[in-house]
Amino acid sequence: MPTGSVQGRRVAVTGLGVVASCGVGPDAFWAGLNGPPPEGERRVADWDPSPWFDKPKDARRTDRFAQFALAGAAMALEQAGSLPYDPSRIGTWIGTGVGGIATLEEQININ
């Protein structure tokens, strides 16, 4: 049981968004989890960030992990629909193991 300031606080999950190697979107993700395990490299195949960016330049300048986070958050908000809550009380939870590592490697290799 939680203690401290979080004890007794309620959380409502109103929408889900997923970008993962086994599926993009909650339904595809769940189907991928329940399907046969993939062989070889586990990457998000054929990723197109353009639906979540107004300008292609913004997509190019945004690290891949951040594109995934933005897309997942947008999917969750779309699934949630119109929320009758104070916007300052709404948030997202984003998990990453090594977010931004591609940009870090790229910057280290610049001469």
User: pTM score > 0.85 for this model?
Assistant: no
Give, for 19, the enclosing helix (H) or strand (E): strand 19-20
- Provide the percentage of residues in the chain whose pLDDT is more than 90: 37
Banded model confidence at residue 108, pLDDT cuts 50, 70, 90: confident
Structure confidence at residue 42 as a pLDDT band (50, 70, 90):
confident
Instruction: Indicate the pairing of strand 19-20 with strand 23-24.
Output: antiparallel
Q: What burial class does residue 111 get, using C-beta atoms within 10 Å of its C-beta: 0-12 exposed, 13-18 middle, 19+ buried?
A: exposed
Residue 23, burial from CB neighbour count under 10 angstroms (0-12, 13-18, 19+) = middle
